[in-house]
Chains A and B, each alone.
Chain A
């Protein structure tokens, strides 16, 4: 398997623009996680899905952020409108069953820069 795939790898945009990050989990995995990494705040869980259903989105910073998982092989994280403080590396991870003890496989991340 190719592992968790994220696109784009790098994104540079201007404040106010819409940004869409994409993730393809490992085939057969039923849980998908979106994280944000900054040097100041460390790694934060934004939202996670089990069987395409959002389970906990309490980590989503504000209404400008939204995430969808229309099917088992694809998820998006959208920021609209984007702000400079959204600049970070965004990771997607997947696991087989979604149990708290399950191994998580991280994608390579998307580095977002908002000017």
Chain B
């Protein structure tokens, strides 16, 4: 069975500081994809970053980067230079090669001015 766990229901960070959101997962697949989605108060989902499991290099997108530890089944999201617009729910998700998706329960991030 595939599972995704986000153990931090809520987090906060000062504007311009760095914050790391945790995600662990379990899968028996060798090839899979990992995602971080952002859901602002508007409720629309925004894809933040995506990582292919077979790639060793950690994905980065501007201020967003991941620390992908395949052996530990960990996929944390680091947000650098936090901005007020980063305030949102963040979902970690796993997709296996069968295009099934599994989501964590989300981490609510608040950026404090």
Q: Which residues of A contact B (CB under 8 A)?
A: 33, 35, 37, 39, 42-45, 48, 56, 59, 89, 91, 93, 100-106, 109, 111
Contacts and interface: CB of A to CB of B under 8 A. Distances in A.
Given A104-B89, A104-B105, A111 B45 contact: no
Contacts of A56: 43
B56 interface: no
Given A42-B47, A101-B89, 9 more contacts: A42-B37, A43-B47, A43-B101, A45-B39, A100-B39, A101-B110, A104-B91, A106-B105, A111-B100
A25 to B, nearest CB: 14
B108 A89 contact: no
Contacts of B89: 100-101, 104
B101 A37 contact: yes
Interface string B19-39: 000000000000000010101
Of A37, A45, A102, the most chain B CB neighbours within 10 A belong to A37
Contact of A48 (B10, B43, B91, B93): B43
Interface in B8-67: 9-10, 35, 37, 39-41, 43-47
Contacts of B105: 103-106
Contacts of A109: 100-101
B37 A43 contact: yes
Given A39-B99, A91-B101, A111-B100, A103 B47 contact: no
A106 B93 CA distance: 11
Interface of B: 9-10, 35, 37, 39-41, 43-47, 89, 91, 93, 99-103, 105-106, 108, 110
A111 B98 CA distance: 10
Contacts of A89: 99-101
A42 to B, nearest CB: 4
A101 B100 contact: no
